[in-house]
Structure 1
Amino acid sequence: MAGRILIVDDVATNRIVLKVKLSAARYETMQAGSGAEALRLVGQYAPDLILLDVQLPDMSGLEVLRRLKADPATAAIPVLMITAFPDPRTRLEALRAGAADHLMKPLDEQLLLARLRSLLRLRETEQELTLRERTFRDLGFAEGPALFETRSRIALIGCTRDEARNWKRCLAHHLGTASAVVVAREDALGNGAVAQGYDAYVISADLGRPGDGLRLMSELRSRARSRDAVICIALPEGASDSAAMALDLGAADLLPEVMGAPFAAQEAALRLDRALARKHRHERLRDHLTDGLRLAMTDPLTGLHNRRYAMSQLARLAERARSTGRPFAVMALDLDRFKSVNDTWGHAAGDAVLVEVAQRLRAQLRQVDLLARIGGEEFLVALPETGPEAAQASAERLCQAISEAPIELPEGETEPRAIQITASIGLALCDPLADSAPVEALIARADRALLGSKAGGRNQVRVFRHDAAA
C-alpha cells in the first residue's frame, strides 16, 4: 500500500526529517519548500497524499489546500495539515476547507504513520469505486436519480452514561439531520431492537479499562449488522498510542473526548458528517453498480463478469497502472478437454462444471482482482499491482484449486457422479515503466502462453517470455 507522498514545508530540516521517517516506512517522497512549488509538483506527479505545513513563505497552507480542493484533478488527494501552533479554530478551518486531518508538531511518528496508512487505505477504496463508476458510465449506463436518504443514526457509547449524555448535548446543534442516542456497551452488542440500524458509533477509547473501546470496535466490525458502520473513537488529548492503534484497527476517524472544549463539538460533528457522507456515497454507488452490472455485464450462468465488462475494466486497470507505475498481470485460463464433458455427459454437466470452476476461482482471488468468463470454457483474470512472483503463485493456486477435487455432476442418469477437471493457464506480466503494450497485446501474450501450456501437457501455468516469442 506504500505510495508517493509530497512533503511541503519551508524549513529544509523539517522536510529532511520527514523524508527519512517516511522512506524508512517504504514511502516514496517528494519535497516542496513553497506553495507554488507544491502546486507545480502536484500537477506534474499526482502524489497519493500531501503533508502540508500551515505556514509557507509565499502563501498560507490553507490557500494551497483551497486551490487543491477547487481543482477536480487534485480534489481527491488527501491533505494532512501540519502546524506548530495549537489553535482549535485554525484546525476547524482546515478541516472545513477539506483537510483530511490537522496534526501538531513535533509529529508523533507512530500516529503519523497510522494516519497515513488509514488515509491511503481510504484513497485506494475511493479509487476503486471511482474506477468502476467510470467503467459503468463508459458502457453507456447513467447513474439513476438519488433516492431519499433516511436520517443517519449515531450511537454514543461513553465510558459512563453521563459522558455519552454530555456528548449528545454538545453535538445537538451541529449534527444537522443526524440523530444521536446514548447506548450502553452491552446493548450495542446485543441482538435486540436497541442494537439495530446504527449508521455510526462514537466510542470512548477506555470503557472502564484501557483499550476496552478498541476491543468493542473490533467486536462491532466482526458482526454483519455493524460491519460497514462508521466507527469513530473518542480520545483524550495526547493519547497518541491509542489513536494510532484505533486507526490501524479500522476507525473511520478520531474525535476529541472532551466535546465541551472550544470548537471541539463542531470538529467532532464535522468529522462524523464527512465519514457518514463517504459511507452513504459508497453504499449508493455500490448498490447502483451492483444492480446495473448484474444485468448488463454478468455472465448469467456463472455470475462472473462477461467479456464486455472485462475488456473495458482491463483497459482502466492498465491506464491506472501507467499512472502509478505499478505492475499488473493478465491470465488466460482454459478448461482442458471441456468439449468432451458436453459430448459425453451433456450440457447440464458442462454447466455444472463451469459454475463450480467459477466459484473455485473466485475463492482464490482478491476483491480488487478481475475475473471474467469470456468464452465457452475460457476465463480471463487480471491482477492489479501484482509483480511476477506473486502473479505466478496466484496462477498456480488457481490451477490447483480447479484440479484438487472432482466436480459433482447434477442429478440424473449421468455416470460417474463426479469428474476430474483441470485447466491450463497462460500468464502475461506488464511493468508499465518498461512496457507500453496495449491491452489487446497483453491478452494476445497470455493466449500465446496458454497455447504453450496446452502443448506442454495441460494442467499447468506458462509465463509469456519475449525471448521465447521471438
Structure 2
Amino acid sequence: MTGKILIVDDIATNRIVLKVKLSGARYETSQAAAGQMALTLARRELPDLILMDVRLPDLNGIEVCRQLKADPVTRGIPVVLVTANAEPGTRLAALKAGADDFMLKPLDELVLLARLRSLLRARETDEELRLRETTCRELGFNEGQAEFAGRATVALVAPSREAGVTWRAALSRHLPGALVISLNRDEALSQGAGGQGLGGGDGPDAFVIAADLGRPGDGLRLMSELRSRPATRNSVICIASGEGMRETVAVALDLGASDILPLDLTAGDNAEETAIRLRNQLARKRVADRQRNSVTDGLRMAVTDPLTGLYNRRYALPHLARMAERAKATGRQFAVMVLDLDRFKQVNDTFGHDAGDTVLVEMAQRLRGNLREVDLISRIGGEEFLIAMPETTLETAHRTAERICRAVERDPVSLPDGMGDISITVSIGLAMGGGPHYQNAQVQELVTRADRALMGAKAEGRNQVTISATAA
C-alpha cells in the first residue's frame, strides 16, 4: 500500500465509491460516517491523509478540520475537504481552517489522485525532516533555533506583462506583509532574483507561475528548472491554471507543484483564496526551512571539532573506510598518517590551556596549507590528528609528511595575551593502503599501523616521520 486514507462521508455509497477508486490506486482506506468519529479515528489510526465531506450529521467538515489542525497529534495530517454544493465563502472558510485543499463533487479521479500523491509526498518529506531534527536534538547536536519570521518574497510569472501587473495589484492587497514582485521567465531563472528569502536562500520564497507562458506547458517546464536549482529548490511553487485544464493540473502536481491556483485573480474571491493558499504554503516552508537548517547544523556539530573546525573521529573513520573501498575498486594506493604534537602537555602546563588551544588552531591551519582539498584532515584526540590521502604513492605521502614537519617546525606560534612565541614540532607515523598487492586490511588496522609508526618516531627523537614496516 502507498498510504492510508481516512474517508469521511455520511453517505455509505459515497464512501464505497471512493474506497474502490483509492484501493485501485493501492491505497489502504478506513471510513467514518460523522465528524466526531473522524476525530476519534484520526487520533487512533493516524492516517496519512483525510478525505472529508463538508456536510456531516454532527460537526461539519470545516469544524472537524479546525480541531484536527489544533491538535498536536493530528496537526500534520493533510486534509482535503470535498462538497457537492459549495456555498459562497465555503472554500475560503475551509482553507482558513487549515484544509490543504478543497474539491468539488463529482471528484475528477485524475486530479484527485494527483493531488493525493502530491500531499502524501509533502507529508513524507515533512515527517523525515521532523524525525531528523528530533534525532539531532536527542543526540545533543541541536540546541534549537529561535523562531524568526522574515519578510516573504513572492515572485509572479504571469502569461504577459499586463497580467503580471494585475496579479501583483490583486495579491498585494491580501499579502500586506510580503514583497510581491513580477518576473519574466529569464529573471525567474536568474540567481538571487527577489533577494534573500525566509530560509536564507537567494531565491524567492514562493513562485506563482502561469501554466502556459509563451507556449503551452512553458510554466511547467520553468517549474522543473527551478526545482533543479539550489537557490529555488525548496521554494513554494504554485501553478496558476484555467478552468478545464485537468491534465495540466495533474501533470503539474506530479512534477512537484506545491499547489494549484486560479488563473484569473480578479474573479470573485480568487485573489483572497490565492493569498490564503500562499500563506499556508509559506508557513509550511518556514517550518521546513527551520528543520532543514537545524539538521544541517546538527550534523555539522556531530562531525566537526569545534576548536579547529576539522573533522572529528566520528566522521574520519567512516570516511576512511569509504576511501579504502574506493582504493580496492581502483587498485590505487592511499596513505594514512597519525600526527602528534611533541611535548604538548608542557605547553598547557607552562602557558595554560588558552595557549594550548592557540597552538592546536595554528596546527590545523598549517595542515590545511600543506595538503590537497581531497585529503582528509581530522582531529582525533587532544593533540592527535589523522590525515588520509587518496590515490597517493608512498613517495608522495612521505614527501608530504616531511613537508608538514618542516612547516610546523619553521615558524613559532604567537601565543595570546602577549605571552610571546613558542616553537613546536610534530611527529608523524605513516602507513599505506590499497595498491595491487594490498591485502584489504581493516581501516582500524591501518590506523593502528600508523599509530605504531608514530610511536617509533617519538622513540627515535621526535620531529620526524616514521613509515610503517609493512608500507616500506
Q: TM-score range by the shorter chain?
A: 0.5 to 0.7
Establish whether residue 76 from structure 1 lines up as the match of residue 82 from structure 2.
no
293-302 or 260-269: which moved more? 293-302
What letter corresponds to residue 223 of structure 1 in structure 2? Answer: R
Identity %: 51
Separation of aligned partners in 2, 1:221 and 1:192: 15
Alignment CA distance shift 1:26-1:357 (3 Å): farther
Establish whether residue 204 from structure 1 lines up as the match of residue 210 from structure 2.
yes
Query: Of residues 213, 237, 245 in structure 1, which corresponds to 2:243?
Result: 237
What's 2:152 paired with? 152
- Cα deviation 1:419-467 (Å, max 9, x = unaligned): 358699xxxxxxxxxxxxxxxxxxxxxxxxxxxxxxxxxxxxxxxxxxx
Q: Which runs of 5+ in 2 are unaligned?
A: 196-201, 306-310, 328-333, 340-372, 377-389, 399-429, 443-472
Alignment CA distance shift 1:85-1:8 (3 Å): same
What letter corresponds to residue 16 of structure 2 in structure 1? Answer: I
Q: Report the Cα offset of residue 301 of structure 1.
A: 4.6
- Cα deviation 1:360-396 (Å, max 9, x = unaligned): xxxxxxxxxxxxxxxxxxxxxxxxxxxxxxxxxxxxx
Alignment CA distance shift 1:247-1:105 (3 Å): same
What's 1:437 paired with? none
Q: Report the Cα offset of residue 82 of structure 1.
A: 0.7
Alignment CA distance shift 1:292-1:409 (3 Å): farther
Contact 1:152–1:177 (Cα < 8 Å) also in 2: yes
TM-score of the two chains, using structure 1 as the length reference: 0.65
Q: Report the Cα offset of residue 243 of structure 1.
A: 0.9
Establish whether residue 292 from structure 1 lines up as the match of residue 293 from structure 2.
no
Q: Report the Cα offset of residue 88 of structure 1.
A: 4.9
Separation of aligned partners in 2, 1:217 and 1:281: 22
Separation of aligned partners in 2, 1:193 and 1:173: 22
Q: Report the Cα offset of residue 306 of structure 1.
A: 9.7
Separation of aligned partners in 2, 1:226 and 1:19: 37
Q: Show the 5 A alignment for 1:12-411.
A: 12-140=12-140, 141-147=142-148, 149-190=149-190, 197-296=203-302, 300-301=311-312, 304=315, 347=337, 408=392, 411=396
Equivalent residue of 1:206, what SS?
Answer: coil
- Cα deviation 1:152-191 (Å, max 9, x = unaligned): 2221111111111111111111113111111112222246
Q: Report the Cα offset of residue 303 of structure 1.
A: 7.0
What letter corresponds to residue 397 of structure 2 in structure 1? Answer: G
TM-score of the two chains, using structure 2 as the length reference: 0.65
Separation of aligned partners in 1, 2:70 and 2:229: 39
Establish whether residue 412 from structure 1 lines up as the match of residue 418 from structure 2.
no
Alignment CA distance shift 1:87-1:243 (3 Å): farther
- Cα deviation 1:38-72 (Å, max 9, x = unaligned): 22221221111000000112221112112212221
Contact 2:335–2:392 (Cα < 8 Å) also in 1: no
What's 2:463 paired with? none
Separation of aligned partners in 2, 1:346 and 1:190: 44
Separation of aligned partners in 2, 1:267 and 1:346: 61
Equivalent residue of 2:89, what SS?
Answer: helix
Contact 2:191–2:203 (Cα < 8 Å) also in 1: no
Alignment CA distance shift 1:214-1:408 (3 Å): same
Q: Report the Cα offset of residue 132 of structure 1.
A: 2.0
What letter corresponds to residue 41 of structure 2 in structure 1? Answer: L
44-53 or 207-216: which moved more? 207-216
What's 1:394 paired with? none
What letter corresponds to residue 243 of structure 2 in structure 1? Answer: E
What letter corresponds to residue 115 of structure 2 in structure 1? Answer: R
Separation of aligned partners in 2, 1:83 and 1:203: 27
Separation of aligned partners in 1, 2:27 and 2:48: 10
Separation of aligned partners in 2, 1:30 and 1:305: 48
Q: Which runs of 5+ in 1 are unaligned?
A: 308-331, 339-343, 350-354, 359-405, 425-470
Separation of aligned partners in 2, 1:173 and 1:83: 29
Alignment CA distance shift 1:70-1:278 (3 Å): closer
Alignment CA distance shift 1:13-1:189 (3 Å): same
Contact 1:118–1:247 (Cα < 8 Å) also in 2: yes
Alignment CA distance shift 1:88-1:422 (3 Å): farther
User: For this pair of structures, how many residues does the alignment match?
Assistant: 342
